[in-house]
Structure 1
Amino acid sequence: MSFLFSTLLALLLFSIMQLNSKWLTSSSAHVIGTGFLGSILFTLSLTSVSNLMTILLGDGYQISLFPEISLSLLFTFITCASIHRVCATTSLLFSLLALYNIHSISQKTYNSTSIFKQSVVQGKKKKH
């Protein structure tokens, strides 16, 4: 269900951005706002791709940098670049920030006992 919902929202946002490209580039604030919309498009496309891969490959599947994240980021970058070049740049920055937040939330939710949280045991020093 999440796959369908995120795919439909991504397509809807993509269509709205393409249809209203003149208005979205009418001022500098709109251009930066369009970059933020691009990061939302990135999050929705990443969610839909991730859910599709989970449906196809099972519950243990985990997304990786290539191809899922890279393709979603490339799709978002091309979409925003077709509207305005600054939109593409701000979208890239906002998308990387969103990806960092998604990663940190994922680590808190699914990785409660981390491999890297090992306690260091110090031994007694010998006297000579």
Structure 2
Amino acid sequence: MAVNSQTSMVLSLLLTVGLFAGLQLLKPQLTASPLLTVVTGGVCSLLFLLLVTAVGNLEATLFGKGFQTKLLEVVLCLAMACTAAGMIHRVCITVCFIFSLAVLYYMNQLSQATYGAPVAVQPAPSKKRR
């Protein structure tokens, strides 16, 4: 079930705050093993996803449906997610950055498939000899 931009923004912000608080509460357990450190970097990339969603929905609410999230907002969300990852462990920053780039790529693909303009395919000209 789809929700409007305002509701999605509020839900994204609540999930972001809850995820950040959970990461901070579980910090000693998450740094106990190298595998959990990598998993924590992946979870911080979900934090990036939620932040981009919240910012995009805030802009859609304020400026209208046609407004697109710009590169600056995405970079700021990435910096915030990597900062949150850095509060857990240094390795989490690298993992968060790599996973966030993958998340950004797939978000772009999904956005293009959903909102992109259809491309008209023109037939290739045939080479006929007269």
Q: Normalised by the size of structure 2, how large is the TM-score?
A: 0.87
Give the aligned residue type for 2:70: S
Find out whether 1:14 has 2:17 as its counterpart: no
Once residues 112 and 53 of structure 1 are traced to their aligned partners in structure 2, the CA distance between those partners, rounded to angstroms, is 21
Find out whether 1:97 has 2:126 as its counterpart: no
Q: Which of 72, 75, 83 is residue 70 of structure 1 equivalent to?
A: 75
Once residues 120 and 106 of structure 1 are traced to their aligned partners in structure 2, the CA distance between those partners, rounded to angstroms, is 27
Once residues 116 and 104 of structure 2 are traced to their aligned partners in structure 1, the CA distance between those partners, rounded to angstroms, is 17
User: Counterpart of 1:83 in 2: which secondary structure?
Assistant: coil
Give the aligned residue type for 1:88: I
Instruction: Structure 2 unaligned segments of length 5 or more: list them.
Output: 1-6
Once residues 34 and 123 of structure 2 are traced to their aligned partners in structure 1, the CA distance between those partners, rounded to angstroms, is 52
Structure-2 residue corresponding to 1:81:
86
Give how far 1:124 is off: 5.6
Once residues 114 and 66 of structure 2 are traced to their aligned partners in structure 1, the CA distance between those partners, rounded to angstroms, is 15
Q: How does 1:29-44 map to 2 (within 5 A)?
A: 29-44=35-50
Q: Normalised by the size of structure 1, how large is the TM-score?
A: 0.89
Give how far 1:118 is off: 5.0
State, as a whole percentage, how many aligned pairs show the same letter: 37
Once residues 60 and 30 of structure 1 are traced to their aligned partners in structure 2, the CA distance between those partners, rounded to angstroms, is 40
Give how far 1:2 is off: 0.5
Once residues 50 and 108 of structure 2 are traced to their aligned partners in structure 1, the CA distance between those partners, rounded to angstroms, is 15
Give the aligned residue type for 1:49: V
Give how far 1:82 is off: 1.3
